[in-house]
Amino acid sequence: MTPIRGVLFDWGDTLFSPPDAGSVIVAAAAERGVQIEPTRARALWDELWSAGKTSEELAKGRDLSMLAHREVWTALFERAHAAVPGIASTLYERVMDPRAWIPYPDTASTLRALRSRGVKIGIVSNVPRDLRPIFAAHGLADLVDAFTHSFEVGAEKPDPAIFLRACEALGTKPGETLMVGDHPVADAGALKAGLRFHLLPPDGAADKPRGLDRVVAIVDASKS
């Protein structure tokens, strides 16, 4: 087996956890004089988030610019207007802003473990803005060798082109690079680019480890 020399990570729902969108919906509803039960709010968000991960939504080019990102996601969030009128823009501003996302408990330790092994680390993400300041704000910037953003390269996952660009940025060959992500379609596009792929389990809770220790184990196994 070829040893893994580089690991690429997705960002959202892989290394960073989003705000509690159910609580955001409850609060935004209250601001509008609407009462919604927390369980209903959570179910509503789950419906929206699942819809946002479909191939149909991925194909809309939402992560190639800030304008497209806002327009596409806000249009999707308008499906919630039947329950909470006018909530779409509020949802976008309070949930989709990367500054509101936080690292999972095992993010930093995993990045440090890979760094100590001499493994190159990259971030490859479908995002309309630079993630470097987000990592810097959480003291993680020095643990990442390269960032590859969809809006910068003009390609979105699952397009193999973005993964190949990410490998170039790391200085590793696709066959010696592991892609780690939570999306079975978008992140799995790495396989078509010749990378290895590890799919994380769904629905990571913000206060619980994401299962990233498995990545370190995979890297170690590749060198044995």
pLDDT at 135 over 80: yes
Q: What pTM was estimated for this model as a whole?
A: 0.92
**Identity of the residue numbered 119:** V
Domain ranges of the chain: 6-17+101-222, 21-100
Average pLDDT over residues 110-139: 97
Instruction: Tell me: pLDDT of 22 over 90.
Output: yes
The per-residue pLDDT of the chain, averaged, comes to 95
CATH number of 6-17+101-222: 3.40.50.1000
The pLDDT value recorded for residue 1 is 77
What single letter denotes the amino acid at residue 99? R
Q: Report the distance separating Cα 148 and Cα 73, nearest Å.
A: 21
Is residue 204 over pLDDT 90? Answer: no
pLDDT tens digits, 185-194: 999 999 999 9
Query: In sequence order, what are the beta bridge partners of 198?
Result: 180
